[in-house]
């Protein structure tokens, strides 16, 4: 969806997110954002108020969500400018925020069809990613572009297959799916950094909370240290599962390295990070196979 900031004469600002291409934006995309906003706000996490929206392409020629505009600094930018102590504050705040999000449970995993009570596709996310990114998609792309070897490609396929049943049996929660350094916005106040809002609302769905935790502890295109991870873990209240975290870290590395996340980053920095992460994939595989 395309975003446009609107300035009003009374000094307020609004944010218009419009979808013109029906292949990319459909009615459920809009409704999912509305429902995600409601659920997130119900946990006490601030989100901009929705002013209006349309799911009728014929009415205006596009679908849209119109909301209040809220300031905020992308988490990755805040992190890069922060002091050592402030970086721990950022990760403490992330632990608190995602603890609240993940506290909302569900009895099935999957993408919403315009409402959290409706499942859009019958396939489990772990099975979907097996076909879309493990055997095909990102893993295949890295192999065909000589970024990984055939041996690594096959090991990734094998370890996912061996754990597929395990992943499908795990508890489902409200998950962001896209808790990236550029889709979480921070604010700085007297007591330090707090999460002001999250974006990529259409990505919210029911799945394993560890899929988010893997992104947060091992974020794509951002190198954090163990002190910051511990700051997150100190505030995160849900049980952790190291095995699941490793599997989802493997998945997010494949997607990040293949360009799936469309990260708004300097190209040279991104290329350097991608080359270094081949080692991360090998290390994660070694631990999962041990």
Q: Check whether residue 53 and residue 82 sit in a common domain.
A: no
Residue 71 has pLDDT above 90, yes or no: no
90 vs 78: CA distance, rounded Å: 8
**Three-state secondary structure call for residue 276:** helix
What value does the mean pLDDT take over residues 170-199?
94
User: Could you say which of 68, 91, 124 is where a domain stops?
Assistant: 68
What pLDDT shows up at residue 58? 86
User: Could you say which of 68, 85, 120 is where a domain stops?
Assistant: 68
- Per cent of the chain over pLDDT 70 is 100
**Three-state secondary structure call for residue 103:** coil
In degrees, to the nearest 5, what angle opens at C-alpha 183 toward C-alphas 180 and 188? Answer: 105
Contact, 97 vs 212, CB < 8 A?
Answer: no
What pLDDT shows up at residue 267? 86
DSSP 182-198: TTEEEEEETTEEEEEEE
Q: Check whether residue 252 and residue 108 sit in a common domain.
A: yes
Dump pLDDT digits (tens) for 6-16: 999 999 999 99
**Sign of the dihedral defined by the CA atoms of residues 283, 164, 252, 238, in that order:** negative
Q: Check whether residue 165 and residue 246 sit in a common domain.
A: yes
88 vs 101: CA distance, rounded Å: 20
Q: Check whether residue 243 and residue 142 sit in a common domain.
A: yes
What value does the mean pLDDT take over residues 213-234?
97
Rg (CA), the chain: 19
Residue 1 has pLDDT above 90, yes or no: no
Q: Check whether residue 156 and residue 33 sit in a common domain.
A: no
Give 182's pLDDT tier (boundaries 50, 70, 90): very high
Query: Burial letters for 269-285: b for 16+ Cβ neighbours within 10 Å, e otherwise?
Result: ebeebbeebbeebeebb
CATH number for the domain that contains residue 262: 3.90.1200.10
Joined together, the tokens standing for residue 243 give: 């095995």
244 vs 184: CA distance, rounded Å: 23
Structural domain count of the chain: 2
Query: The domain containing residue 25 runs over which residues?
Result: 2-68
Q: Check whether residue 144 and residue 178 sit in a common domain.
A: yes
DSSP 72-92: -EEHHHHHHHS-HHHHHHHHH
Q: Check whether residue 127 and residue 151 sit in a common domain.
A: yes
What pLDDT shows up at residue 264? 84
Q: Check whether residue 163 and residue 131 sit in a common domain.
A: yes
Dump pLDDT digits (tens) for 80-132: 999 999 999 999 999 999 999 999 999 999 999 999 999 999 999 999 999 99
Q: Check whether residue 49 and residue 148 sit in a common domain.
A: no
Q: How far is CA 5 from CA 45, 74, 154, 195, in A?
A: 22, 17, 46, 21
Contact, 120 vs 27, CB < 8 A?
Answer: no
Q: For the whole model, what pTM was predicted?
A: 0.94
What pLDDT shows up at residue 190? 82
CATH number for the domain that contains residue 58: 3.30.200.20
Give 21's pLDDT tier (boundaries 50, 70, 90): confident
What pLDDT shows up at residue 16? 95
């Amino acid at each position: 969806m395309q975003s446009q900031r609107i300035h009003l004469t009374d000094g307020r600002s609004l944010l218009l997110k419009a979808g013109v291409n029906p292949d990319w934006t459909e009615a459920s995309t809009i409704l999912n954002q509305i429902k995600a906003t409601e659920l997130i706000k119900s946990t006490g996490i601030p989100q901009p108020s929705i002013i209006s929206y349309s799911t009728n392409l014929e009415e205006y020629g596009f679908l849209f969500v119109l909301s209040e505009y809220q300031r905020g600094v992308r988490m990755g930018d805040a992190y890069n400018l922060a002091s050592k102590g402030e970086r721990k504050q950022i990760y403490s705040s992330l632990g608190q925020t995602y603890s609240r999000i993940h506290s909302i449970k569900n009895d099935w995993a999957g993408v919403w069809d315009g409402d959290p009570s409706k499942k859009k596709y019958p396939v489990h996310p772990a099975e979907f990613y097996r076909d879309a990114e493990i055997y095909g998609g990102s893993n295949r792309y890295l192999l065909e572009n000589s970024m990984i070897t055939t041996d690594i490609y096959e090991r990734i396929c094998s370890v996912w297959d061996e754990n597929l049943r395990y992943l499908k049996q795990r508890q489902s929660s409200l998950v962001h799916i896209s808790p990236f350094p550029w889709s979480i916005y921070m604010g700085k106040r007297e007591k330090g950094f707090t999460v002001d809002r999250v974006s990529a609302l259409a990505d919210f769905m029911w799945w394993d909370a560890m899929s988010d935790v893997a992104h947060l502890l091992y974020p794509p295109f951002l190198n954090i240290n163990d002190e910051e991870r511990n700051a997150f873990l100190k505030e995160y209240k849900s049980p952790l599962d190291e095995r699941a975290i490793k599997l989802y870290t493997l998945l997010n590395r494949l997607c990040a390295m293949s360009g799936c996340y469309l990260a708004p980053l300097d190209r040279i920095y991104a290329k350097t990070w991608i080359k270094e992460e081949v080692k991360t994939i090998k290390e994660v595989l070694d631990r999962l196979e041990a």
